[in-house]
Structure 1
Amino acid sequence: MLPFFPVVTLAQAFPLPFPSPSQSLPRVNPQELVLPRESLPAQPTLPMQEIFQPQEIRPLPGQLDTVPVLNSNSPEVVQTDGILTSTFPPEGKTFPNAHLNYAFQGRFDIFSHHIARTRSGTPRTLFEAILLNNPTSKPVTIEILQGASYLTRPDASFIQLPAYVEDPLGTVYAGPGSRVMNDLLRGRRQGALPRMTVIQPGENQLLMNLPIPVNGSPGSNGRTTLMRLQSNGSVYGASLAMFAPLTEDGRERSPTLEEWQTLLVKGGLAGPRDLPPTPPNVNVFKVFYGRVSGVAIGSQWLSMVTDVPKGDRLTIPKKGRAFSYGLSTLYRGTFGTGQVQSAKLLARYPDTAYQAHGNYGIQYSLTMPLYNPTKQRQTVTLAIQTPLKEDKSKGGLLFYQPPENRVFFRGPVRLRYTDDTGITQTRFIHITQQRGEAGEPLLTLNLPGGDRRIVQVDLLYPPDSTPPQVLTVKTLEDIRDASR
């Protein structure tokens, strides 16, 4: 059975269904590229000041849905053949502990984020496969609702972008995680993916069989994949890694379905293994979250953000004040709300994360019916911010000025709202934020007294980002014209 994604030779570039970002933008090295310290140019440093903003931080209403996700992110850097994540049953396998024994049925997602890296010698091309199995006695139909898979190079290099870029066409991204989230936020299915496929009883089928090529040593490249699927029967799934087999004349070729099946049955977990996580509820200063490999529960966080549960309004703050809702809050990072939004894991490997920290690939769909309870016109702003991570309440948020030179969020956000002229707007904005960055408003609205205005915010939490962030509503001291 041929894979759905086309297998490409090493001289070819993976097809780009959409235009690349403008080449006039300055490019930077990918984050995962390891460079000797002495080769890095000296960077001017400015003294960072801590800026405390007193305001209320609220738990985000709503919760994750119950859609299961095959989440494959450990080991992040893959340097040996093996199993990345397998939900196949352990019976008949050489390494039964490499299989988590979970069957998907109905709606489920597959998320994968891995890096190939070489430090010396001639690089071998790493291939990644997504393999599905029908264990039943009837054919199973798989619908690919949405999906995309991109490499860092050549598909989505880590280019340097402004903090905010309007992106009506979906051509602005930095890194494969940013680009994949961009596609799915727009409801796209990458051109190489079929709308559906049928797996016959007892058969395995490749959903993906794609390279992660590395040019030169040292060097690295990454691939991010996210698919939203629907099945009418039970299926097992696995994310697998294999270096390209060689032909008789020493050239690399794509692995076959039979070779992937052999790896699934006889192979162990791929390596090197990531640093194991700190056990929960252990009183230590520094927590290692670990990387995720297993079956997580939750594809979307759907929320009506109102004053009270089942309410119909979100009362804006008083003049000069603000309140925030956590986004992707996690263990030891709840801003005093006690709310851990990280997806729970139904199955995991002992040396991987206890929860799906970061909620990579999870969609936040938030509806905010902003309400002005006063008789005067009020100017309200909406912003995504990246404050310093805190777990206990300090009565506000802590930022750096200037922000630390470490990107903590890069990805697209969709806004839907009615502007001050009564026109319904849909805007896509790519955001790049550094650690401790308070940011600028994504949206400014002038609300007449008694007005109720619905704003919808959607984002898929992007890989290559570091949680948590907050969504902040602020009422300005003075009325201003809407600038966004």
Structure 2
Amino acid sequence: MLSVLSSLILAQASPPPPSQEIKIPQEVRVLPGKLDAVPVFNSNSPELVQTEGILLSTFPPTGKRTPAAHLNLPFQGRFDVFAHHIAKALTPEDLRTLYLGVILYNPGRQPVTVDILQAASYLSQPDAPFLDLPAYVDNPLGTVYAGPGSRITNDILRGKRQEGFPAQIVIPPEQSRMLLNLPIPVKELNPPLNGRSTLLRAWSSGPIYIASLARFAPTTDTGEERAPTVEEWQTLVDTGTLAGPRDKTPTPPDQQKGQIIYGRVAGVAKGSQWVADVVDPPGIQLSDPNTWYLSVPAAGQAFSYGLSTLRGGTLGTGQVQTARMLVRYPDTAYEAHGNYAIEYNLTLPLQNRTDQTQTVAIALETPIKENQLQDGQLRFLEPPAKNVFFRGTVRVRYTDDRGLPQTRYVHLVQRRGQQGEPLAVMTMKPGDRRFVNIGLLYPPDSTPPQILTVRSLQAGEAK
């Protein structure tokens, strides 16, 4: 699920060396837990925006010039807003700045307060270019990122609210306020192509409607560009049509044969966070704390859990983790494939129940996508393919061999078929227990699925 920007980078890259397929017999388990019920306003279609209009609107259709562009779903309480769109000049002479607006409307008779809990919005250029980073870089200060999707998820994982976003917005009765009103400039870029990724976590004291919109910058009397006003954005909600060009129409979920076209997302998805205690079957029994463990494998053995598994890519588990859509446009994705910007918060209560000391490593990996494993084997490539399938920061918390708590942030870049380097390595004596917590927001511009692997190293195997 690579973006236009990533595809452009790949097209300019040198051909990769030939790869050899590596097959590894390894159990892939169903990930415990499930997505929560927090609605996510997910604006990602059309990804490339070249005509003004409505990107996604949950406003009521009544009184609107294009009723089909409005999905009629209010938000109240916790909700997220994710938006990723790209601007590209239509001609070398047309270098107008495209603005991305997210407008909030209070339909009620009392003021509504919207608290912005965390927020981040970055351009591809100059804020977060797609740098060619190593596969594994420690990121303690949050200064390592490659692409705007990598950067926004890095910020939100750390609980940040970017400067420029207010802590609170009060919306008077039957009025609108802007949550976002930011440019995607292309002037002076070569090629004239730029993108913006945005992620916000918010809470509303009352019902509100949300719309994401695209329009070119108006000009002043002297010909200078300016930001659109809230009134101009509201007029676009009332009178506009869907922005274009439209993306590829997705494959229906019940189609059993042929290529799957997942499509880009434009709608409201159900689920912002996947929180789970990853334990042995039959799982946790609250009446018996001794059952709350995840047995580490024997030396030289490993098992994995799928991350962001999806239709056609469950790695033999049959588990589709993809957030379902509450509302969507008919020509956009049936599900929020890829779970972009969804947080995984996984706790692994590891216990060495063998009679030997085990050196246990935890890693994120990107095997070749499959729905069913061939002979129970995961497939990797050596060297990995050129195209990047994961680009973002992972947080790992664990107790080290000195008994000290550790929190590490690691920026990973993984290509198709790439085995992962350990995020944490622990030497565990028989009976030893360690709690490991893995946190990440699935980075936009990544391609699922990935796996989280628990491996016990063989004697002499490199850590």
Distance apart, 1:48 and its partner CA: 1.0
Residue 20 (structure 2) aligns with = 49
Matches within 5 A, 1:143-154: 143-154=115-126
Is residue 298–residue 354 contact of structure 2 (8 Å, CA) maintained in 1? Answer: no
Bigger mean CA offset, 302-311 vs 89-98: 302-311
Q: 2:351, 2:9 → 1: CA distance?
A: 50
The alpha carbon displacement at 1:196 in A equals 1.2
Which residue does the alignment assign to 2:310?
330
Matched positions, count: 450
* 1:480, distance to aligned residue in structure 2 (A): 6.9
- Structure 1 residues 339-387: Cα deviation after superposition (integer angstroms, max 9, x where no partner): 0000000000000000000000100000001110123210111110000
What's the counterpart of residue 262 of structure 1? 235
For residues 379 and 32 of structure 1, what CA distance do their matches in structure 2 show?
40
Alpha-carbon distance change, 277 to 30 in structure 1, aligned in 2, over 3 angstroms: closer
Equivalent residue for 2:72? 101
SS in 2 for 1:94: coil
Any unmatched runs of 5+ in structure 2?
285-290
Q: Distance in 2 between matches of 1:61 and 1:264?
A: 41
Structure 2: which amino acid aligns with 1:419? D
Closer, same or farther: CA 210–44 of 1 in aligned 2, 3 Å = closer
1:83-482 aligned within 5 A: 83-120=54-91, 121-216=93-188, 218-308=191-281, 309-310=283-284, 311-394=291-374, 395-478=376-459
- What is the CA-CA distance between 1:247 and the residue it aligns to? 2.1
Any gaps of 5 or more consecutive residues in structure 1?
1-28
Partners of 2:181 and 2:449 lie apart in 1 by 33
Task: Give how far 1:317 is off.
Answer: 1.1
8 A Cα contact 1:32 1:220, kept in partner = no
1:122 Cα deviation after fit:
2.9
2:60 alignment partner, SS class: coil
1:119 offset after TM fit, Å? 4.6
Conserved? CA contact 2:107–2:207, under 8 Å = yes
What does the per-residue CA deviation read over 1:237-293, in whole Å, with 9 as the maximum and x for residues that have no partner?
011000111223322111111110110000010000000101112133211000000
Could you tell me the TM-score, scaled by structure 2's length?
0.95
Q: How far apart are the structure 1 equivalents of 2:15 and 2:234?
A: 53
Q: Tell me, yes or no, if the aligned pair for 1:116 and 1:213 is still in contact at 8 Å.
A: yes
Q: For 1:140 and 1:79, locate their aligned partners in 2 and report how far apart those are by CA, in whole Å.
A: 34
Identical aligned residues as a percent: 58
Distance of 1:353 and 1:157 partners within structure 2: 27
Q: Is the 8 A contact 2:29 2:306 kept in 1?
A: yes
Partner SS state of residue 258, structure 1: helix
Task: Please list the CA deviations of residues 165-216 of structure 1 after superposition, one character each: whole Å capped at 9, or x if unmatched.
Answer: 1011110000001000010000001111111121111110001100000034
Secondary structure of the 2:166 match is coil
Q: Does 1:62 align with 2:33?
A: yes
Q: 2:52 aligns with which of 72, 81, 96?
A: 81
Contact 1:379 1:479 in 2 (8 A): no
- Tell me how far apart the structure 1 counterparts of residues 72 and 176 of structure 2 sit (CA, whole Å): 16
Q: In structure 2, what is the Cα distance between the partners aligned to 1:223 and 1:326?
A: 29
Aligned residue identity for 2:371:
D
- Separation in 1 of the partners of 2:369 and 2:223? 51
